[in-house]
Structure 1
Amino acid sequence: MSAPEQQAPEPQQPEPEPQPDAQPLPPVPPLPEQPPGPAPVSRWASLSRNAAMAVGAGMGAAAVGLCWMLVALTGTSEAEGGTATKGSQTSPPTAAGQDEKAKDAEETSTPFSTDGTLTVTNAGAGVKIGDVCSGTGGYDDIHLGTQVTVTDADGTLVAMGMLLFGEKTEAGCEFAFTVDDITPGSKFYTVEVSHRGGLTQTEEDLRAGGLAFSLGSD
């Protein structure tokens, strides 16, 4: 019998040599500064000239429109405030204007009156001043009740009145008269006492009244 095979002994692992204590790593040097990059390109720079002008015009128009809107709103508020203040003190202007127009229309369509005096100069001889008198001689038709007529521009009789009592004055014998219900709207009027001839007057003159006529010589 053969002798049993002998197994070769396993090689011995060398023991690790002791390592020296770990040293701290040196600091990492700072990275070199990078040069600044190109400046960012503006959006406006990328637009064409015409496009930029169009955009600018649109923005300008919008700004102007906003300003006008603010001005309009401010003016409206002030106007409303002013109207409210006036309304608390007086009637609305529109109503006042309508009342004025209605009044004018009524005045131009409503009959009116006039008054005045007729003096017969040097009449009433021997009569005391302030006493009743009447026309004498060639003026004996001038007395209480003598007719006073008013005709329009067409010669149409539009109103009648009469003389009142005569009163002695330094100038002569003075008669007052009043004529009512004169029809308005004529270009002119003629006022006549008895048959002594008429005197032409405007409607404004008649409405004012205070007419003064005289007969005879000084």
Structure 2
Amino acid sequence: MTVPPEQLPSIPPPPEPPASGSEGPVPAPDAPAAGSRWDRLSRTAVLAVGVVLGVAVTGGCWLIVSLAGGDASSAEKTFGTSGTLTLADSSLSFLAEGEDCTGLDGYSDIHRGAQVNVTGADGTLVATGELEAGKKTALGCEFPFSIEGIPQGSKFYTVEVSHRGGLTQTEGELRSGGLAFTIGND
């Protein structure tokens, strides 16, 4: 028995061979899509990439906060103080009250910009400031000063202007300000 050609089952043609230079077989048009790159990586590799990304994000956040001055805790660990040094020197009597003044002769180290040092209980220098411009008052030549960045927590502090000896204070006394030094020959 002979079957007419129109009744024969249709057989698809064989796939064409890949073009030269291509890698591997070309998937059939109705084949499922290949997995993503992540599907081809091992679990260890995916975990390693996740850890690296996590560290990078955390480090980036830390850097941004640091550069923005977000470390508020350091500001809370220091404090400031202020006071005056009065130079009672009769050689300044020729000045009128309110005039600019400075130390003379044996007091020439007492002037605007003279260093004011703060040391902790262990004798370590912990902060510095300087005298502002002196003004003549009824008591002598008065130099205001202020000091910032004194670390908290020392049992006591010593404040010294130039090399003239120190005034020892507790943290509470320093925080309240109003330190008053007087030196001179009057």
Return the TM-score normalized by structure 2.
Answer: 0.58
- Give the counterpart of 1:114 among 72, 76, 81: 81
Secondary structure in 1 aligned to 2:132? Answer: strand
Partner of 1:216: 184
In terms of fraction of residues, the more strand-rich structure is 2
- Give the counterpart of 2:131 among 163, 175, 183: 163
Secondary structure in 1 aligned to 2:133? Answer: strand
Q: Any idea what the Cα deviations from partners look like across 1:35-70, whole Å, max 9, x if unmatched? A: xxxxxxxxxxxxxxxxxxxxxxxxxxxxxxxxxxxx
Q: How far off is 1:125 after superposition?
A: 2.7
Q: Give the Cα separation in 2 of the matches to 1:122 and 1:135.
A: 8
Kindly tell me: are residues 211 and 120 of structure 1, through their superposed partners in 2, closer, same or farther at Cα, counting changes over 3 Å? same
In terms of fraction of residues, the more helix-rich structure is 1
Q: Do residues 205 (structure 1) and 153 (structure 2) align? A: no
Q: Give the Cα separation in 1 of the matches to 2:104 and 2:137.
A: 15
Secondary structure in 2 aligned to 1:177? Answer: strand
Q: Do residues 125 (structure 1) and 98 (structure 2) align? A: no
Q: Give the Cα separation in 1 of the matches to 2:93 and 2:109.
A: 17
Q: Give the Cα separation in 2 of the matches to 1:107 and 1:171.
A: 39
Q: Give the Cα separation in 2 of the matches to 1:208 and 1:136.
A: 31
Partner of 1:138: 106
Residue type matched to 1:136 in 2? L
Q: Which runs of 5+ in 2 are unaligned?
A: 1-72
Q: Give the Cα separation in 2 of the matches to 1:203 and 1:108.
A: 16
Identity of paired residues, percent? Answer: 58
Q: How far off is 1:216 after superposition?
A: 1.1
Residue type matched to 2:144 in 1? A
Q: Which runs of 5+ in 1 are unaligned?
A: 1-105
Runs of 4+ off more than 4 Å: 106-109
* CA RMSD in angstroms, aligned pairs only: 1.7
Q: Do residues 148 (structure 1) and 123 (structure 2) align? A: no
Q: How many pairs align?
A: 113
8 Å Cα contact 1:108/1:184 also seen in 2: no
Kindly tell me: are residues 145 and 108 of structure 1, through their superposed partners in 2, closer, same or farther at Cα, counting changes over 3 Å? closer
**Highest RCO, 1 vs 2 (Cα 8 Å, sep ≥ 6):** 2
Q: Equivalences for 1:24-103 in 2 at 5 Å?
A: none
Q: Give the Cα separation in 2 of the matches to 1:114 and 1:152.
A: 14
Q: How far off is 1:122 after superposition?
A: 2.5
8 Å Cα contact 1:135/1:141 also seen in 2: yes
Q: Any idea what the Cα deviations from partners look like across 1:128-185, whole Å, max 9, x if unmatched? A: 1001000112101100000000000001111000000000011110000000000000
Q: How far off is 1:108 after superposition?
A: 10
Is the radius of gyration larger for structure 1 or structure 2? 1
Residue type matched to 2:88 in 1? T
Q: Give the Cα separation in 1 of the matches to 2:165 and 2:145.
A: 16
